[in-house]
Amino acid sequence: MQITGIGVGHGVAVGPALRMPDPIGEPEDVASPAEPDDEYHRVETALTAVTGDLVELGHRAGGEAEEILEAQSLMAQDPAVVDDIRQRVGDGKTAERAVFEAYEEYAKVLEGLGDNPAARGADVRDVARRVIARLKGVALPTIPRSDVPFVLVAADLAPADTATLDLGKVLAIVTRDGSSSSHTAILARNKNLVAVVGARGSESIVNGHTLIVDAERGTVTLDPDRVSVAAAAERGGRVAEPRPLTPGALGDGTPVPLLANVGSPEEAAPAVALGAEGVGLFRTEFLYLDARTAPSVDLQRSRYRDLMAAFAGRKVVVRVLDAGADKQLAFLGHTHEENPALGRRGLRALREHEDVLRDQLTALAGAQQDTGADLWVMAPMVADVDETAYFVSLARSLGLQTVGITVEVPSAAVLADQVVPLCDFVSLGTNDLTQYTLAADRMLGSVAHYQDPWHPSVLRLVKLVGDAGRASHTPVAVCGEAASDPLMAVALVGLGADELSMSPGALGDVRAVLARVTLKQARDLATRALAQTSAAAARAVVADALGSVG
């Protein structure tokens, strides 16, 4: 039996299955026998303890996991949710039930919003489970212990579970839920851990089943024969070898620079250590999200200077503020929208508050002058020629030399022959491009199987941009998480991408696989993928071909 899902990273693992215990169930909806003040005091104590637990786990995990867990710890103190819990307790709910209902409502709101990785319904529900466990005085279900290495199987994993995995024992992970941009996928990729997420049907796996988890093909094989196990073990041994930190290139010498996606200057040094040749996406939202007013030009200039200094002599691509959707900022006039992911976000919001955009561009130009960095600046959520021309003209007028856009709205890809020549470069944001093309919110587990950049419709849009880049001699990059998939990296280069940016943990695997193919082979594989009728078939045709390469 074989189950398909979304492969994370590059590699294959073989081992016995061990299932994560089921999470704590929904508390009963019964009236509380205690006084509301006493019941709410229990909630406050539990929330404080859970906040401390998550912060401590983050410090121990370090890196991107620390950022994710700290963001999750803030959910345990969200004022709106705390007020909701207090009101429900006042209405006679038990502490456990009030916590469950308040966080469940919060989770559903977040699932209807945009693309901030911290704003995940699964993360919120994990906070609720942790608080309820504290209130009940019971231990949370934890990663199973084993004397031998195993494949961890779960409905989904909380960030704290994934961040603290014992890599000496966990060979791979398989989850029923999740997408390529879920926290499970992000943290697994950073740990270079074989994973298949969104594996519908994995609930049928029981403890003791021998599994082949093939991230390259996005498959999980139950109780395989000896020949398959031997072949998988051989492949696993090969990809586990250390990767040299050489510049990205194809087997014929064609350079494919490999850059890192980062969210703060502090992430720069670890990215360099993993072989990043520069920054392909610097998300600037960290300067704005906790601010009541827009940060000053001087503050921004200082922080941008920190990043550029860490990448002295290397390219740094900065995306201006991508606010809106789940990142609602009062100083940009954000109000409630029924579908904010399709509302006033990115350049649309900045254009209405041009002073905020001008300040950011001015700060970036100043930081470039201070460091002499190779700075490239791009705008998010650009839909057409008018928006492209507006941003490029404004940025150049403020002293920036290399200006482009992210292509994440399908209309920009369809109009690539008009849009791309106006830019000094373009960068494909495959996460949003996929969700908008397939009308599938990438925060919703119910449609996670649509959130697959291998879908031929997405590949065709990428090709339109790649073709326009070649025709106008405009560099085309990819900064979405699709570039972290080594097989997809080959296809993206074949479709016209000149450079790739990804989570730093994926750089080694992508570098190794690109070195196995020539540009002609990459283009041939991309053509074959384009001809398929499904995401699974497109991925499989590349995976099968690469199995015979090298």
In a domain, 94, yes or no: yes
Final residue of a domain: which of 103, 136, 169?
Answer: 136
- Tally the C-alpha atoms within 13 A of residue 202's C-alpha that lie toward its C-beta: 33
Cβ distance 279 to 270 under 8 Å?
no
User: Do 176 and 292 share a structural domain?
Assistant: no
- 367 is in which domain, residue-wise? 258-546
Instruction: Report which secondary-structure segment, H or E, holds 502.
Output: strand 499-502
User: Do 43 and 18 share a structural domain?
Assistant: no
Query: What is the distance between the alpha carbons of residues 407 and 477, in angstroms, rounded to a whole number?
Result: 10
In a domain, 18, yes or no: yes
User: Do 481 and 345 share a structural domain?
Assistant: yes
User: Do 343 and 202 share a structural domain?
Assistant: no
CATH of the domain at 309: 3.20.20.60
User: Do 398 and 522 share a structural domain?
Assistant: yes
Cβ distance 523 to 485 under 8 Å?
no
CATH of the domain at 196: 3.50.30.10
Q: What are phi and psi of 93, to 5 degrees?
A: -75, 155
Final residue of a domain: which of 239, 270, 292?
Answer: 239
User: Do 327 and 225 share a structural domain?
Assistant: no
User: Do 224 and 121 share a structural domain?
Assistant: no
Laid out side by side, the sheet with 12-19 consists of 2-4, 219-222, 210-214, 12-19, 150-154, 170-175, 194-197, 6-8
Contacts of 335 (CB under 8 A, 6+ apart): none
Final residue of a domain: which of 71, 106, 136?
Answer: 136
Number of domains forming the structure of the chain: 3
Residuewise pLDDT in 10s, the chain (550 residues)? 889 998 887 788 888 888 987 777 788 888 888 888 888 899 889 998 888 888 887 777 666 667 777 777 887 888 888 899 999 999 999 999 999 998 888 877 766 654 443 346 777 888 888 898 888 888 777 788 777 788 999 888 877 777 777 777 888 899 888 777 676 777 777 777 888 988 888 888 988 888 999 988 889 999 888 888 777 776 764 333 444 568 999 999 999 999 999 888 877 777 887 788 999 999 887 777 666 778 899 999 998 998 888 787 889 999 999 876 545 555 555 455 566 667 678 899 889 889 999 999 999 999 999 988 899 999 999 999 999 999 999 999 999 999 999 999 999 999 999 999 999 999 999 989 998 999 987 656 667 778 889 999 999 999 999 999 999 999 999 998 899 899 999 999 999 999 999 988 788 889 989 999 999 999 999 999 999 999 999 999 999 998 755 4
In a domain, 244, yes or no: no
In a domain, 251, yes or no: no
Residue owning tokens 């949003």: 432
477 forms beta bridges with 427, 499
Query: What is the distance between the alpha carbons of residues 29 and 27, in angstroms, rounded to a whole number?
Result: 6
The structure tokens listed for 20 are 């994560």
User: Do 520 and 379 share a structural domain?
Assistant: yes
DSSP classification of residue 240: T
Cα 155–159–164 angle (5° rounding)?
105
Query: What is the distance between the alpha carbons of residues 408 and 428, in angstroms, rounded to a whole number?
Result: 6
In a domain, 247, yes or no: no
Pseudo-torsion of CA 433, 436, 442, 444, nearest 10°?
-170
Cα 108 to the center of its chain, rounded Å = 20
Cβ distance 89 to 100 under 8 Å?
no
The structure tokens listed for 539 are 């991925």
Type of residue numbered 215? A
In a domain, 31, yes or no: no
| Residue 288, Ramachandran bin (φ over 0: left; ψ between -120 and 50: alpha; else beta) | alpha
CATH of the domain at 89: 1.10.274.10
Q: What are phi and psi of 529, to 5 degrees?
A: -65, -40
Scanning 240-375, the segments in alpha helix (DSSP H) are 268-273, 297-310, 347-352, 354-371
Query: What is the distance between the alpha carbons of residues 471 and 466, in angstroms, rounded to a whole number?
Result: 9
User: Do 220 and 84 share a structural domain?
Assistant: no
Cβ distance 59 to 177 under 8 Å?
no
User: Do 344 and 206 share a structural domain?
Assistant: no
User: Do 267 and 230 share a structural domain?
Assistant: no
- Tally the C-alpha atoms within 13 A of residue 201's C-alpha that lie toward its C-beta: 12
DSSP classification of residue 237: H
Cβ distance 121 to 104 under 8 Å?
no
In a domain, 57, yes or no: yes
DSSP classification of residue 324: B
Cα 300–301–305 angle (5° rounding)?
115
**pLDDT of 319:** 95
In a domain, 28, yes or no: no
User: Do 381 and 517 share a structural domain?
Assistant: yes
- Tally the C-alpha atoms within 13 A of residue 326's C-alpha that lie toward its C-beta: 19
3-state secondary structure of 524: helix
Catalytic residues: 183, 479
* Confidence (pTM): 0.63
